[in-house]
Structure 1
Amino acid sequence: ENLDKPRAIAVSDDRIFVTEKDGAIKVIQNNTLLESPLATLRGADVFDGGLLGIALHPNFSTNHYLYVFLTYAENGNLWNKILKITESENKLQNAEVILDKIPGSSFTNGGFIKFGPDEKLYIGTGTVSDASHLPQDLDSLSGKILRINDDGTFPNDNPFSNSPIYSLGHRNPQGMTWDDDGNLFVAEFGPEKNDEINLIQAGKNYGWPEQQCSGNESFVDAIICYDPSIEPGGILFYSGDSLDFESSFIMASMRAANLYQVDFEEGLSSQKSILSGIGRVRDVVQGPDGSLYVITSNTDGKGFPDSMDDKLLRILK
């Protein structure tokens, strides 16, 4: 309870880490929110920027590396950067910038980061404005899915030479996950409508700002399109056996204030609510025990918080 503008969750074997927009990395251990944050980072004070995504290194239990996405201001400009943090006993020991100068915005920074099954770090970046064509520019990190090594260098098998860019033409990615076959899916906001779920392929162009959802053969079509907007957040394919879902694809939704399950083959008609009545739902992750962890987003300036918002919830059955 009483999380302040939480943005993303990462779960280890014994702890839960939550980023708060205003810069704190909160730690939950033994079902208790620790009084002192792991770190408080100084970011830009803008509506939809600040401390956003968080990811734990695949070998976090031994190396204690975690990664965050941070919006900051410099000389009147907004930028985003990726920090690699070393922690010990819930305290920051070292912080290193491993990717910088991702163009920033007051409203559409993307900000979601996750390690893939290939142990590369994937980063969703947003456009600086709806009028910007930078998402189509391979010389810009705006409006892209990026893929980097754990030290910030660029993998040799990325689709563009000496570049972190993995795919382009994105507006505002907010969720990222992989299925059992290693296919990458991304959820992203549209401009009031045309939110998208996309199947990401290396080197492909998803159209923003030239295309929304579908209609132009030069770009990849979304596999699901939402009109009006539901503001999709965190997504995952459920792989545990603790919970019984008809469909394994799980999606948080802020504007629709729900946690949903969806079957891609059946489309939107298959969408069913798993959890509602808690307001805006921003992120969902699967814990090592097969339960789901969810954060609400009612203190973000768009919701209607109660006296205990925001909350981290655990779904056991």
Structure 2
Amino acid sequence: MKRIARLISIALLSIVLFYSCDSSDNTTDPNPNPDPGGEPTEATTTLINTLSIPWELTWGPDDFLWVTERSGKISRINPDTGAQDEILVINEVAQVQESGLLGMVHHPDFDTNPFVYAVYTYEGTGGLLEKLVRFTYNDNNTLTNETTLLDGIPANSTHNGSRLIITADQKLVMTTGDAGDTSLSQNMNSLAGKILRFNLDGSIPNDNPITGSYIYSYGHRNPQGLTLHPNGMIYSSEHGPSNDDEINRIEIGKNYGWPNIQGVIDTPNEEAFANTTQTVESIYNWTPTIAPSDLVFYTQTRIPQWTNKLIMTVLKNQQIVALTLNNDGTAITNEEIFFNGAFGRLRDIAVSPTGRVFIATNGNSYGDTSNTHRIIEINRIESQ
């Protein structure tokens, strides 16, 4: 009997020890931010690590993270637990190299107009094309009623732009790349290599610079970042060829020079071209290139080192860059680098209204198509 009693005691002790320890190999806390207002214990937290090439990451009006994956999937992700809820797969999406389901943005009055706008590439006559669409979000947590606002935009396996924002005056702004054809950026009969501007119903605003045209600015190569300053200025990050990645301050009706001008105007040929066009120089450049991706203007104080700066994710150089603007927003006066090489290629950045920062990764090398890409929360900046 004593031996039986001893075995029972050992079994009970084993049960207690089992439930008091983490039996999983997953070191990520399943609820990493139970108190978002408190001081985090770690500088960063991996929220989810099972995505396949996330492209757009945005904070939704429902206080969830919304993410597109290039294969055609849209999901909602709980920002505290990492639970992923797939709400749509777009079967028409054609994913070839860098193409696929790309940009996404929510209607600013989502409670009344539960619309989600997205950009994706599809197989058209003669090859890839790009379209801007709108979905309706329903109470059963699905996206339905796909409505095409504009299609037939030139696309390719690379250089598709596709970032979306909505301005304070409720205009939808979209970037397009040159689709691998440098002649299209200066061609005003093509929507490639442009920044486009729409009313939220997809129509052309009356105050666009060219009557009857979506074109807002032109002469772009592959702008993949787009953000608003609180004063209404629009800034874009743009991929150069092997030189002159750019930050541009977007002005209505202006020409940003590609392919005739790369970066600043500093050669006789570029000066000659600028003299005959309304060309605007970039306000910052990188040579060699770093592959800039998404861009936000961080107004909050949760990460004080980034307050009132442009914050940009970087693909090739695998870093976050903080850029300080001068007082009138016409020049960048300082560049700081954070998390250099810490997470691999960084595709996108999202910020909550309280200043929580999340980044989407795209693997450790170009062309990494594994299903192990991550969303990481930046809780704080440690000493540099």
Q: Normalising by the residue count of structure 2, what TM-score does the alignment of the two structures yield?
A: 0.77
What is residue 230 of structure 2 aligned with on the other side? 180
Q: Which has the higher strand share?
A: 1
Give secondary structure in 1 for the equivalent of 2:111.
helix
Partner of 2:284: 224
Q: Tell me which residue corresponds to 1:113.
A: 164
Q: Structure 1, residues 1-41: CA drift from partner, whole Å, max 9, x if none?
A: 21100001121242111000010002113634555521111
Shift of 1:63: 2.2
Match of 1:204 among 245, 254, 257: 254
- Distance (Å, rounded) in 1 between the aligned partners of 2:73 and 2:364: 15
Structure 2 counterparts to residues 98-247 of structure 1, below 5 A: 98-129=149-180, 131-215=181-265, 216=270, 217=274, 218=277, 219-245=279-305
Deviation larger for 195-204 or 276-285 = 276-285
Q: Does 2:50 match 1:17?
A: no
> Where in structure 2 are there 5+ consecutive unaligned residues?
1-48
The Cα offsets for residues 246-296 of structure 1, whole Å up to 9 and x where unpaired, read as: 551111101110111112449778322233401111111211221111111
What secondary structure sits across from 2:185 in the alignment? helix
Say whether residues 1:27 and 2:87 are aligned partners: no
Tell me whether 113-122 or 46-55 shows the greater mean CA deviation.
Answer: 113-122
What does the per-residue CA deviation read over 1:58-77, in whole Å, with 9 as the maximum and x for residues that have no partner?
01233221111000112232
Deviation at 1:241, TM superposition (A): 2.1
What is the distance in 2 between the residues matched to 1:224 and 1:250?
A: 14
Instruction: State the partner residue of 2:376.
Output: 313
Task: Tell whether the 8 Å contact from 1:27 to 1:90 is kept in structure 2 after alignment.
Answer: no
Cα contact 1:3–1:311 (8 A) shared by 2 = yes
- From 234, 243, 263, give the equivalent of 2:324: 263
Amino acid at match of 2:295: I
1:129-181 deviations in whole A, cap 9, x for unaligned? Answer: 2x431111111100000000111001101111011100000000100011121
Mapped contact 1:251–1:261 kept (Cα < 8 A) = yes
Q: Could you say which residue in structure 1 is the equivalent of 2:309?
A: 248
Larger gyration radius, structure 1 or structure 2: 2
Distance 1:157 1:61 in 2: 28
Q: Percent identity?
A: 34
* 1:185-240 deviations in Å (ceiling 9; x for gaps): 00010112211100000000001111111223342110001111111111111111
CA drift of 1:114 comes to 1.1
Mapped to 2, the partners of 1:316 and 1:72 lie a distance apart of 38
Say if 1:223 and 1:264, in contact at 8 Å, map to a contact too: no
Whole-Å Cα distance in 2 between the matches of residues 299 and 27 of structure 1?
A: 24
Cα separation, 2, equivalents of 1:299 and 1:114: 28
Aligned residue identity for 1:120: K
1:220 and 1:18 map into 2 onto residues whose CA distance is 33
Counterpart in the other structure of 2:356: 291
Cα 1:24–1:208 shift into 2, 3 Å: same
Distance 1:179 1:200, change over 3 A: same
The number of residues matched between the two structures is: 314
Looking at structure 1, the residues matched to 57 and 351 of structure 2 have their Cα atoms a distance apart, in angstroms, of 10
> Residue in 1 aligned with 2:122?
72
Query: In the alignment, does 2:339 pair up with 1:275?
Result: yes
- Residue 279 of structure 1 contacts residue 303 of structure 1 at CA under 8 Å; is this kept in 2? no
CA deviations over 1:76-135 (Å, ceiling 9, x no partner)? 321100110111242112110111111111111111111112211100000022x43111
Alignment root-mean-square deviation, CA? 2.1
- More deviation in 84-93 or 17-26? 84-93
Alpha-carbon distance between aligned partners in 2 of 1:135 and 1:273, rounded to the nearest angstrom: 31
Equivalent residue, structure 1, for 2:9: none
CA contact (8 A) 1:299 1:310 kept: no
Of Structure 1 and Structure 2, the greater helix share is in 2
Structure 1 pair 273/132, CA: closer, same or farther in 2 (3 Å)? closer
Q: Distance in 1 between matches of 2:206 and 2:369?
A: 46
1:110 touches 1:126 (CA, 8 Å); kept in 2? yes
Structure 2 match to 1:40: 89
